[in-house]
């Protein structure tokens, strides 16, 4: 009787014990075709798995020995890791009471690491541009867009973060713009706008204030020329850049800069200035044409390549041209994309755009007629990838009605 009871107790104890084994879990493959190696724990007809955080290809797994084959270059270190974790789990289960075993059978929820995705300069700038358009601050939006477009010609990939903007980057970017023969104050405008982006990014806690590069990199605009020969003592009428009268060095037309002259004297000199201008420049002003009928989107759509242009009428017979062109719509790695953005006068239904990159020049002629337009491109000394490989805006467009 006692012998039978002891045998039953031992059998029951063995049945109550938890078991663990190593398995290659082939229920779901990873993106690279590998499978996870898990520890399978069984207890009283309940089963759960623990991840070993090791993935191997099926051809690298020996199911009979429950180990990783030599065909895997990391087989030694991975097998050592598996054996150690397997032994640790066995030891814990052997000494565990029912509560501990139940804890083992409760699946562990793997904590998903929250990765903070940093915004690039281009992404952050686009958010600012969108907000400016919502606020109807179109002028500032254009300046921001122009700054981004020019910056993309220097740093062509999208992965430009604020941390990359340091003294060396700004110096190299300035040299790049100088080589493109941009005027000093134009370069100043672009760099100042980048500084605005940086300041706003600091306030939005996108970049640390300690990385601010503009304490070392100073921006200074070029002073307006008052004398054409840069000689302040030469006050002849023909040598004055803006104020066409003899008292140029004595006062300014703004009373806040009247240089100790009283209001009566300033008003007198203003009348003198107006009289001189009216006598010399009293000609009929050119007629400002209504260009609003050109506003709209123009399309040149093809199966493999295409483009779109948007025309927006501005003041003083000027229009803004913005567009994008693609080449290779069906390519497996995606098409090449180019952008166009400039402001130009319109003369006799014709719009011109010119630019230069080192020794290469491009000219674009746009002719408008009815609800259509035609784009012609010319390159010197030969065609080059101004908009990207094979990307072109050339062709006939129809207006989207």
Same domain, 271 and 310: no
What total number of domains does the chain contain?
4
pLDDT value of position 257: 47
Asked whether residue 98 is assigned to any structural domain, the reply reads yes
Q: Where are the beta strands (DSSP E) in 107-223?
A: none
- The pLDDT confidence band at residue 9, using thresholds 50, 70 and 90, is very low
Same domain, 162 and 258: no
Kindly report the CATH number assigned to the domain that includes residue 127.
1.10.150
Same domain, 101 and 163: no
* Alpha helical stretches, state H, 204-310: 263-281
Same domain, 232 and 178: no
Same domain, 300 and 270: no
pLDDT > 70? residue 285: no
Q: Which two tokens stand for residue 72?
A: 């895997």
Which residues in 41-77 are b (16+ Cβ under 10 Å) and which e?
bebeeeeebeebebbbbeebbeeeebbbeeebeebee
Asked whether residue 179 is assigned to any structural domain, the reply reads yes
Range with lowest mean pLDDT among 23-27, 68-72, 189-193, 237-241: 237-241
Asked whether residue 33 is assigned to any structural domain, the reply reads yes
Contacts for 167-173 with beta carbons within 8 Å, 24 or more apart? 167/213, 167/216, 167/217, 169/213, 170/194, 170/213, 170/214, 170/217, 171/217
Asked whether residue 345 is assigned to any structural domain, the reply reads yes
- The pLDDT confidence band at residue 264, using thresholds 50, 70 and 90, is low
3-state DSSP call for residue 101?
helix
Asked whether residue 216 is assigned to any structural domain, the reply reads no
Asked whether residue 218 is assigned to any structural domain, the reply reads no
pLDDT value of position 202: 93
* pTM for the whole structure: 0.36
Residue 26 DSSP class: -
Range with lowest mean pLDDT among 31-40, 235-244, 322-331: 235-244
First-to-last C-alpha distance (Å) of the chain: 100
pLDDT > 70? residue 5: no
Q: Which residue has the higher pLDDT, 108 or 278?
A: 278
Same domain, 4 and 95: yes
Sheet order of strands, 35-43 included: 19-24, 35-43, 46-56
pLDDT > 50? residue 114: no
Residue 320 burial by Cβ neighbours in a 10 Å radius (0-12, 13-18, 19+): middle
pLDDT value of position 239: 57
Residue with tokens 């981004």: 148
Asked whether residue 111 is assigned to any structural domain, the reply reads no
Tell me which of 159, 188, 211 is where a domain ends: 211
pLDDT > 70? residue 88: yes
Q: Which two tokens stand for residue 242?
A: 């803006």
Tell me which of 55, 78, 105 is where a domain ends: 105
* Residue 62 domain boundaries: 1-105
Asked whether residue 113 is assigned to any structural domain, the reply reads no
3-state DSSP call for residue 235?
coil
φ, ψ for residue 10, nearest 5 deg: -65, -45
Tell me which of 105, 136, 161 is where a domain ends: 105
Residue 142: CB atoms within 10 A of its CB come to 19
pLDDT value of position 227: 55
Q: Which two tokens stand for residue 120?
A: 């690039």
């Amino acid at each position: 009787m006692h012998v039978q009871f002891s045998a039953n107790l031992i059998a029951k104890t063995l049945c109550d014990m938890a078991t663990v084994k190593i398995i290659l879990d082939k229920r779901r493959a990873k993106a690279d075709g590998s499978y996870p190696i898990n520890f399978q724990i069984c207890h009283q007809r309940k089963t759960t798995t623990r991840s070993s955080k090791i993935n191997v290809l099926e051809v690298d797994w020996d199911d009979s020995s429950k180990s990783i084959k030599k065909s895997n270059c990391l087989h030694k270190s991975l097998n050592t890791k598996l054996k150690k974790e397997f032994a640790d789990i066995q030891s814990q289960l052997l000494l565990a009471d029912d509560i501990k075993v139940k804890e083992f059978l409760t699946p562990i929820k793997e904590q998903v690491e929250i990765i903070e995705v940093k915004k690039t300069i281009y992404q952050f700038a686009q958010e600012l541009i969108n907000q400016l358009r919502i606020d109807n601050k179109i002028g500032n939006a254009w300046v921001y867009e122009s700054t981004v477009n020019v910056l993309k010609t220097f740093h062509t990939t999208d992965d430009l973060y604020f941390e990359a903007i340091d003294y060396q980057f700004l110096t190299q970017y300035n040299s790049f713009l100088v080589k493109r023969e941009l005027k000093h104050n134009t370069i100043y405008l672009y760099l100042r706008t980048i500084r605005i982006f940086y300041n706003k990014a600091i306030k939005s806690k996108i970049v640390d204030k300690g990385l601010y590069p503009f304490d070392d990199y100073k921006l200074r605009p070029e002073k307006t020329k008052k004398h054409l020969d840069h000689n302040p003592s030469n006050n002849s009428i023909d040598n004055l850049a803006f104020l066409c009268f003899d008292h140029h060095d004595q006062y300014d037309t703004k009373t806040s800069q009247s240089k100790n002259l009283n209001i009566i004297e300033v008003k007198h000199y203003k009348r003198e200035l107006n009289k001189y201008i009216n006598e010399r420049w009293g000609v009929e002003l050119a007629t400002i044409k209504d260009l609003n009928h050109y506003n709209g989107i123009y399309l040149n759509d093809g199966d493999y390549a295409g483009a779109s242009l948007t025309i927006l009428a501005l003041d003083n017979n000027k229009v803004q041209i913005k567009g994008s062109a693609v080449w290779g719509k069906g390519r497996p790695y995606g098409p090449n994309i180019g952008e166009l953005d400039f402001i130009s006068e319109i003369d006799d239904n014709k719009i011109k755009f010119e630019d230069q990159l080192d020794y290469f020049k491009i000219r674009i002629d746009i002719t408008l007629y009815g609800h259509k337009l035609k784009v012609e491109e010319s390159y010197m000394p030969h065609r080059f990838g101004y908009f990207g490989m094979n990307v072109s805006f050339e062709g006939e467009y129809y207006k989207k009605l």
